[in-house]
Amino acid sequence: MLGLYAGAFLGMLSETSMNIALPDLCDAFNITTGTAQWMVVGYMLAIGIVLPCVGFLLKWIKAKTLVLVALACFLVGSVLSAAAPVFALVLAGRIIQGVGTGIVLPTMYAAIMRVFPPAKIGAANGVAGLVIMFAPVIGPTLAGLIIGACSWRAIFVLFAVVAAVAIACTAATFVTPIETTHPKVDMLSVIASAIGFGCFVAGVSLVADMGFNALVVTLLVIGVVVVAYYAYRQLHIDDPVLDLRALGIASFRTPALMVTCSFACTLAIMYLAPQELQRGLGLDSSVAGMLMLAGGVVNAIVSFLSGRRYDRMGAAPLVRVGAVVAIIGSLLFLAIGVTTAPAFFILAHVVFMIGIPLMQQPAQSAALKGLPRELAADGSTILNTMQQVFGAIGASIATCLLGMGSGSTAAEGFVAGSRYGYVFGLVLIVLVLALSFLLKEQHGARD
C-alpha cells in the first residue's frame, strides 16, 4: 500500500497547502479572491469529473498502471504551474493535478477493501487517515514557510518532488489487488458524467464571483438535469460506469452522508482559517502556517487512533463524541476577532481538529464495511465523488459568505465574513450528529 499512501498524501498536501498561498496569488496576478479560489475549486472540479469514472476504469485497467498514470499527471501539472507566467496556466496545471488526485484517492480505499480482512478495515483506514492527514499537518505550515522564504512557485516545486517519490514507491511496491473484468463501455454515461458533474461544480463555484447570472444558472440547470439522467442511466443499464446500487444500502448510505458533510465542513474551515489569520488578524503567511501546525498534528494522531477504536466500538459513539467536540471548536472560531491572541486561535483549531477525524474516520470505515466486496470499487468511488463534489460546494459557499462580511475596516469585514462561514460549518456538524442516530452498522461493530 506504500505507493498509494504516498499518492494520497500528495493529493491532500496539494489540497490543503494551497489555501495559504491564495493571498499571494491575488497579489502576484492582480486577481480577486473569488478568482484565486478557482485554485481550490478548479482542483476539486477536476477531481469531481474524474472520480465517477474510476470504479469503471479499475475494471478495465490494472490498478498499478492507472495509479502511475495519475501520479505522472500530477508531476506534469506541478511543473506547469511552477513555471507558468500567467494565472491561466497556473490554473491549468492545478486542474491536471486534480485529475491525478481523483484517480488515486478512490483507488486507495478500494485496495484497502481487497487487501485487508473486514475485522482490520478500521485499522487500515486509520493508517490511511494518518498518512493522508499528515499532509494537512505540514501543508499549511510548510507552505507558509516556503512562501516566506521563496515564493508561491516553490510550493509547486515541492509537489513535483513528492510526485516523483510517489511514482518511485508505486513502481517498486504496489501490486494489483483489483481484478479487471472488461465490461462494456457506455460512452453516453461517460460523457454525461463529465458534463453533469463539471457543469454543476462550475456553476456552484462561479456563484461566489458572478452571482446568479444567466451563465451560472444555466450551468447549474444543465448540471442537475444531466447528473439526474446519468444516475437514472446507471440504474437501468447492464454495465453501469458507476454502480449506484450501493446507495440503496442503508449501512453505506448513512455513513457516506456523514463523511460528506464533515469533509465539506473541513474544506470550508481550512479555506477560511489561514486567510482570516492573514487578512483579518494581519499575520504573514509563515506565521499563519505555524499557527495551524498544532491542530494538524492533533488531526493526524486522532485519525490514526479513531480508526483503531472503530474496530472495537463501531462508528456511532465515536461520531457523536467527535461532533460535540467539533461543535465546541466551531463556537471558539466564532469568538475570534481582529485583536484575538494567536493562542486562542490555536486552541480553537486544536479542539476542532480533534472532533473532525472522530467523525470522518469511523464513518468512512462504516461506509466501506457496509458494502459487499463486489461493490467495493464502486462504493469507494461514490464516497470520494460525494466528498469532492460537495467539498467544492462547501468551499464555494464559504467564499460567498466571506464576501458578506462588513466592518469599519477591511480586517473587521474579513473576520465578520469568516464567522458566517464558521456558522455554515457548524450546521454541517449538527447534521452529522443527527445522522449518527440513524446509523445501522454491519455485524462485528457495536452501535
C-alpha cell at 439: 446509523
Per-residue pLDDT band at 136 (split at 50, 70, 90): low
How long a stretch of residues is the chain? 447
Per-residue pLDDT band at 78 (split at 50, 70, 90): very high
pLDDT at 446: 37
The CA-atom distances, in angstroms, between 353 and each of 33, 39, 58, 278, 431 are 26, 24, 33, 20, 18
Q: Per-residue pLDDT for 335 more than 60?
A: yes
d(CA 232, CA 143): 43
Q: Give the helix/strand (H/E) hosting 69.
A: helix 63-83
Q: Per-residue pLDDT for 31 more than 80?
A: yes
Place of cell 464555494: 396
pLDDT at 152: 84
d(CA 387, CA 44): 10
Q: What is the mean pLDDT of residues 207-212?
A: 73
Question: Are the C-beta atoms of residues 50 and 70 closer than 8 Å to each other?
Answer: no
Question: Are the C-beta atoms of residues 255 and 425 closer than 8 Å to each other?
Answer: no
Q: What is the overall mean pLDDT for the chain?
A: 83
Supply the DSSP symbol for 431: H
C-alpha cell at 156: 509547486
- Greatest mean pLDDT among 70-74, 107-111, 149-153, 439-443 lies in 70-74
d(CA 7, CA 101): 8
d(CA 303, CA 321): 14
Q: Which of 260 and 377 is assigned the larger pLDDT?
A: 260
C-alpha cell at 231: 444516475
Confidence (pTM): 0.76
Place of cell 503567511: 285
3-state secondary structure of 116: coil
Place of cell 465490461: 183
C-alpha cell at 114: 481487497
Q: Calculate what percentage of the chain has a pLDDT beyond 70.
A: 97
Q: Per-residue pLDDT for 447 more than 50?
A: no
Per-residue exposure over 167-181, b if at least 16 CB sit within 10 Å of its own CB, e if not: bebbeeebebebeee
Per-residue pLDDT band at 350 (split at 50, 70, 90): very high
User: CA nearest 158: which of 238, 97, 105, 92?
Assistant: 97
C-alpha cell at 299: 488531526
User: CA nearest 355: which of 334, 324, 384, 331?
Assistant: 324
The CA-atom distances, in angstroms, between 201 and each of 34, 204, 209, 301, 391 are 15, 5, 14, 32, 10
First to last CA, the chain: 30
Per-residue pLDDT band at 137 (split at 50, 70, 90): low
C-alpha cell at 58: 479499475
